[in-house]
């Protein structure tokens, strides 16, 4: 049996963003994988993540590490995992509308960088770079901004009845210099799970604090 760690990117991003963390974990023999969510709808993201987790679980226990938006998909798809790690991620409560809390969750400045196209896609203005990557190496930040993806995936209005974090051992990583997601909102979610870790970093610790994040995932 092979234990695997699956990394799930946040909105507008791709799986490659986790490479600095993966490189550090592989020094310790951790088998790491990524997924690129299709971003065609939340339902499609959940379906793709469910199938990927099921494939990996067939070979051994799986840890799922999710970032930002993908906390919703992980909460809906992650029941077969052995462990979940939420990184500044959405962690929906039962009987709570994720959409209803959005005004308190994300910063006004970041929401102003999201553009809705006439075809129903959301895109992110490059001005968001200083919000997403305020503590990250400039080179990585520029590469990431150049590779942003449009998305149709939506934050659901209806509550998620049985979020996976309620039955799977879960760690929540609070990013204390986050300019995208309200830090106190992160802490309120972290208080619901098995373990909370705070890292002095921006919204993108895979760039700004890869050593510490790898350590948290490995523990």
Q: Where are the beta strands (DSSP E) in 50-191?
A: 62-67, 83-87, 114-116, 122-124, 169-175
pLDDT tens for residues 45-101? 999 999 999 999 999 999 999 999 999 999 999 999 999 999 999 999 998 999 999
Do 5 and 84 meet the contact criterion of CB atoms below 8 Å apart? no
pLDDT for 78: 98
pLDDT in tens, 110-161: 999 999 988 889 999 989 999 999 999 999 999 999 999 999 999 999 999 9
Write out the CATH class of domain 4-218.
alpha beta
| Residues ≥6 apart with Cβ < 8 Å to 135 | 177, 201, 202, 208, 209
The answer to whether residue 1 scores a pLDDT higher than 80 is no
pLDDT tens-digit series, residues 158-184: 999 999 999 999 999 999 999 999 999
Sequence ranges of the domains in the chain:
4-218
For the stretch 14-61, pLDDT in tens is 999 999 999 999 999 999 999 999 999 999 999 999 999 999 999 999
Cα angle 127, 129, 131 (rounded to 5 degrees) comes to 95
In 3D space, the residue among 15, 167, 158, 204 whose CA is nearest the CA of residue 81 turns out to be 167
Cα separation, 154 vs 56, whole angstroms: 26
């Amino acid at each position: 049996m092979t234990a695997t760690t699956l990394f799930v990117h946040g909105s507008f991003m791709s799986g490659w963003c986790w490479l600095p963390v993966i490189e550090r974990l592989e020094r310790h023999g951790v088998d790491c994988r990524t997924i690129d969510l299709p971003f065609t709808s939340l339902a499609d993201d959940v379906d793709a993540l469910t199938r990927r987790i099921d494939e990996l679980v067939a070979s051994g226990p799986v840890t799922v590490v999710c970032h930002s938006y993908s906390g919703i998909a992980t909460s809906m798809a992650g029941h077969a995992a052995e462990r979940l790690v939420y990184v500044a991620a959405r962690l929906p409560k039962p009987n709570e509308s994720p959409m209803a809390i959005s005004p308190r969750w994300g910063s006004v400045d970041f929401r102003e960088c999201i553009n809705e196209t006439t075809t129903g896609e959301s895109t992110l203005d490059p001005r968001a770079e200083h919000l997403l990557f305020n503590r990250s190496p400039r080179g990585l930040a520029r590469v990431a901004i150049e590779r942003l993806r449009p998305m149709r995936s939506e934050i659901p209005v209806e509550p998620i009845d049985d979020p996976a974090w309620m039955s799977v051992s879960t760690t929540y990583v609070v990013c204390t210099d986050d300019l995208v997601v309200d830090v106190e909102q992160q802490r309120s979610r972290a208080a619901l799970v098995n373990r909370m870790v705070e890292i002095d970093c921006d919204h993108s610790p895979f760039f700004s604090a890869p050593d510490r994040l790898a350590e948290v995932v490995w523990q």
